[in-house]
A and B are shown apart, each in its own frame.
Chain A
């Protein structure tokens, strides 16, 4: 899987241990507030969230439906604007980036797996996977090679020419994951990446993500309802009613609760 190998060759497994300086966090958010105004009612979806993720960390965000997980993900990735609070992406202030730069940043440094609506129905699996590469200016030929490799990684090499409508839900989700990884991102956002999958497929996918996280130092932020998924992460962030209410340390073996405030829990790489 040479195409997915990071050029800086970040190695190794990282555990959440010890505090890190803010500069080492790939993403740092402080006091993020987001209110949806539907005209008739105001929904306070995020009520001052502090949140930080270190490089190479694999974090799960969990909480009841409607507590603001997707909103958090959208705000932190720059897909949505916040009302107040600051967000730093690899040290850059998101608020100062402007739409063009954010978009560019997403193309080059981020990968996404959304809760719903992921693939373009009019494109084949391989074409879907290629898109992030093409938009970053990679030559079509090279893009095709990388996309093929990415599809093979998720075990769908045979299905490259099929349209999403011809794939099962699980297969679609795997194509989405291949797409989120194909541009060698620093950071991948997953909103219930395994939600639509049966438990054995979900395990396969999680193993894959875990493997990528370990071998390449990929940072992963996953929203999930599945305690099994949470348990495989380095850390679990608990949310309720638009606020972060607690954190636990996760391990593949068992979930381990951690106390303390966020700032002391953030784990960095190197």
Chain B
């Protein structure tokens, strides 16, 4: 991890250390100059151990989440770069075939270079102190069978290497580090890479049957080498083995070609990479104009590793932001409550002459006392979380690269500093607010009276918010940034509300209106938003911004109407009527004819009113249920619902915490469910069941004939089509534009005939999908392309059909040019864009009759098989692979492959959800803090209740109901917002407008139920404490 959000980690670290230093200096100053105050503050820490524990746990969570996010980055960085070093060993650069533009080292797999390249490279780096080795390699992909063990692999890279030159760079080594001398290998022996040996279950001495050009031959395993490019293993997902170059040349007859020339820089495996730029500068002129290029493989791969690691950290951090926000709320909540507890005490202190600044300092000292251990604990647990996440990821990604948990001290220090600084700031702010207490009110422990200065502040704050909001709106308009614009629009009504409050308008109608208006604004579907406000650019950060504001708006509405909402439980009839009215009003609004902006806004408002109506009805029904149990439920509910409304600050913060976390969880879960459904839809496999791939090392002319010869029943096949991939990295450009890499495929007539392809966009003149397929059958100059070429939908560095977007339906036919082997453009017309739902097709597709002349050499041929019975796909794939393994044919069930990919994606999302679920701990901690505090605060009141005849069980039940309601309100608001936002996003044209919106209710209910249960468990302990309060004692003391 060297960078975060484009800022250098070292810079972040320095800034944070300075900030931490300032915080600690402040506290140290208090400790030295005002030791009494310092002691007064710190003395509070050990006073109530359970409370202190809860506070530390609450404070550490943000640190934990940040530490885990950074740790994930470290882990990826370490694991990915380790795998780069392992695979590449001494190799730093590769000279490969290149058609100009970027050099792609993977072209070594299907393109060859002249044998003379070696001399060329030797010549240009001779006497160069930066280079200590030049290694020629030839590759062929062949099938391999270990007959004795009954294991086979259709595609293993058989590499040819120069033993002498290999020795110069350190040579091959066994896994245990012993040297393997390739030169000393017997003529019928091969050195197999470890992973390949595992796949073939091969040990030294086993005989492997390989096949080249359909001629089988045997080689004995002479040694097993560590997985490395030197042993033919091109990357961690590939299989490889190596023999001396001469022998491979002899066997394949390719005496005058190579696949690549590897270059090793001076220095060890890790150190050599520093000289990469110098070596490339030296080589490039010599390779110029010969169809050759030099790729900085190690450097590029390492850069990419860092990039991926940074991306993952960013991703985890952004998703963790919800939890961090909830954590900050928790800190504020804790300190507000500590202040409430100490209010009379502090009032006394002020009365006898303590200055406001001294109270402030006392609180800050105490806060720091919690923050430091919490920071350490959080950072340590963050390491633990990183190891947990790494373990899960190892399970998920194990096939691609080995993940090893790693956390750098720097990350831990950054997380620690960040956690402590955030806590310190939150504590400072709360302390400042707290210390401004009214002495008389505090001593008598009655509510502060509103004084004129405070009112003036309201006006000032309101005006500021309006001005800031307006500024942000302008900034947003200027930069076309959605985030600024929407934040600005959201701030203005708040400001106006405060101004109205100053003029004495009651808070409930004002804030309810503001909250509802904001909800309408944030829940606006994309097209409506664009019609009203115009086009803006938003990114992943909008997820966070919209979440925060929607939760804020919903919480404001809830908190300002808490008595009505909860009152529904004791007065069900009223709320049933209100609910019915809301439903009717909502439906009426939905009847407004869609079309005009006003109408659409009204319809949206109708939807929100409908939601409110449902909530009221549900509460009303609950109220009816409550009334069924008059002796228990009615009194318990009566007391339970009165407290939250009396402490709106706490209630609001708790609701907001749960709402935030649940919102993010529900949103992610809903999105992923819908993506999965999209991914695995009926259209995904384009009407085919099995895909079998044959490489050019063992070409297959008559697929069905070859199968029949092996006794496979091809009668089960409904159709077989062929798709070819050319023997070169293909490039395509818009007419007149620049060539961009894009996979080009040729479809044979049978494939076109039998494929069932759905198109998302059709060229003008093609009324339906069948018309496009008909054109592909009859015209040689037309082509189709997958949806990732649409603007804003794929790699912006690849081919982009500018102006054609996912939400379009038709387009003027687009002429593109495919680059042939000689670099000449061949024009073709795109007449259809394959729908995203067809996930098995990727690239540019044209009839073979057109593609074959452009790329005479075929690298691989895919045979697409449709079976009579789709459930047989798996069996057919197995049969094909078993029969044609000697020819190196790999076959898969398309559905299985899609599902596997989906499972990986799903697993990753589950991990993400688990990580985000950490935030629920914040909410649960808040519930605990509040409940423990409430028991203390309400001691006498509980005494009164007990005297009036509340049974112990009723007291604790009332506590649990109270907690349950707050948690449920937060959860309900979060769920509503999460589902609503997911729906808006998924049905918007930006996502192609999915047809059926799915909500993963079982998963959501599971998460929510668990949350409620854990919260209630948390509240159970204090509720028992409350039940045990002895009435006589409670009534006597303060």
Contact = CB atoms under 8 A, between A and B. Distances in A.
Interface of A: 70, 74-75, 77, 79-80, 99-100, 103-104, 106-108, 112, 114, 116-123, 127, 130-132, 134-140, 165, 179
Interface stretch (B165-173, B640-648, B675-683): B640-648
Contacts of B446: 165
Contact of B630 (A75, A77, A140): A140
B948 A135 contact: yes
Given A117-B943, A118-B944, A140-B570, A135 B952 contact: no
Contacts of A70: 1036
A130 to B, nearest CB: 8
A107 B950 CA distance: 8
A120 B941 contact: yes
B940 A107 contact: no
Interface in B981-1038: 1030-1033, 1035-1036
A117 B1035 contact: yes
A113 to B, nearest CB: 10
A123 B639 CA distance: 8
B684 interface: no
A204 B645 CA distance: 35
Interface in B936-955: 940-941, 943-952, 954
B463 to A, nearest CB: 32
B566 to A, nearest CB: 12
A106 B570 CA distance: 24
Most buried by A among B447, B570, B944, B947: B947
B635 A131 contact: yes
Contact of A132 (B630, B946, B948, B1033): B948
B475 interface: no
Contacts of A99: 951-952
Given A122-B642, A122-B645, A140-B630, A114 B949 contact: no
A147 B315 CA distance: 59
B634 A117 contact: no
Contacts of A103: 946, 949-952
Which 7 A-B pairs have CB atoms at the shortest separation, nearest pair first? Answer: A107-B949, A80-B1032, A137-B631, A117-B940, A122-B642, A74-B1032, A122-B646
A230 to B, nearest CB: 23
Contact of A135 (B943, B949, B1033): B949
Contacts of B948: 106-107, 112, 131-132, 135, 179
B238 interface: no
B546 interface: no
B748 to A, nearest CB: 79
Given A117-B1035, A138-B630, A112 B570 contact: no
Contacts of A121: 646, 941
Most buried by A among B643, B646, B945, B1035: B1035
Contact of B1032 (A79, A127, A135): A79
B630 A137 contact: yes
A136 B1032 contact: no
Contacts of B646: 121-122
Contacts of B943: 117
Given A103-B950, A104-B949, A135-B631, A79 B638 contact: no
B214 interface: no
Nearest to A100: B951
B714 interface: no
Nearest to B643: A122
A119 B1033 CA distance: 17
Nearest to A80: B1032
Interface string B749-774: 00000000000000000000000000
Contacts of A119: 944
Interface residues of B, number: 33
Given A70-B1036, A139-B630, A120 B642 contact: yes
B237 to A, nearest CB: 64
B627 interface: yes
Interface string B548-573: 00000000000000000000001000
B801 to A, nearest CB: 64
Given A120-B642, A122-B646, A131-B635, A79 B1031 contact: yes
Nearest to B947: A112
Most buried by B among A118, A119, A120: A120
Interface in B585-638: 627, 630-631, 634-635, 638
24 contacts: A74-B1035, A79-B946, A99-B951, A103-B951, A106-B947, A106-B948, A106-B949, A107-B949, A114-B944, A117-B941, A117-B943, A118-B944, A119-B944, A120-B944, A120-B945, A122-B645, A131-B639, A132-B949, A134-B630, A136-B631, A136-B949, A137-B631, A138-B630, A140-B627
A28 to B, nearest CB: 20
Contacts of B952: 99, 103
A99 B1031 CA distance: 11
B686 to A, nearest CB: 65
Given A103-B946, A103-B949, A165-B447, A79 B634 contact: no
Given A130-B638, A135-B635, A179-B948, 12 more contacts: A70-B1036, A79-B947, A99-B952, A103-B946, A107-B948, A117-B941, A120-B941, A122-B645, A123-B639, A132-B948, A140-B627, A165-B447
A19 to B, nearest CB: 32
Contacts of B945: 120, 131
Interface in B242-301: none
A114 B946 CA distance: 13
Contacts of A165: 446-447
A86 B422 CA distance: 61
A120 B937 CA distance: 12
A64 B954 CA distance: 37
B635 A114 contact: no
B947 A135 contact: no
Most buried by A among B630, B943, B945, B1030: B630
A131 B635 CA distance: 7
A268 B143 CA distance: 110
Most buried by A among B638, B949, B1031, B1036: B949
A79 B945 CA distance: 11
Nearest to A105: B949
A180 to B, nearest CB: 9
B639 A120 contact: yes
B949 A108 contact: yes
A116 B950 contact: no
A131 B949 CA distance: 9
Contacts of A139: 627, 630
A243 B643 CA distance: 41
A119 to B, nearest CB: 8
Nearest to B939: A117
Given A134-B635, A165-B447, A80 B944 contact: no
Contacts of A114: 944, 947, 1035
A132 B638 CA distance: 12
A140 B570 CA distance: 8
A140 B635 CA distance: 9
Contacts of A135: 631, 635, 948-950, 954
A140 B639 CA distance: 14
Contacts of A138: 630
A122 B1033 CA distance: 22
B951 to A, nearest CB: 5
Given A100-B951, A140-B570, A79 B1035 contact: yes
Contacts of B951: 99-100, 103-104
A135 B946 CA distance: 10
Contacts of A80: 1030-1033
Given A106-B949, A127-B642, A165-B446, A134 B944 contact: no
Contact of B638 (A74, A106, A134): A134
Contacts of A136: 631, 949
B595 to A, nearest CB: 47
Given A100-B951, A103-B950, A117-B941, A134 B642 contact: no
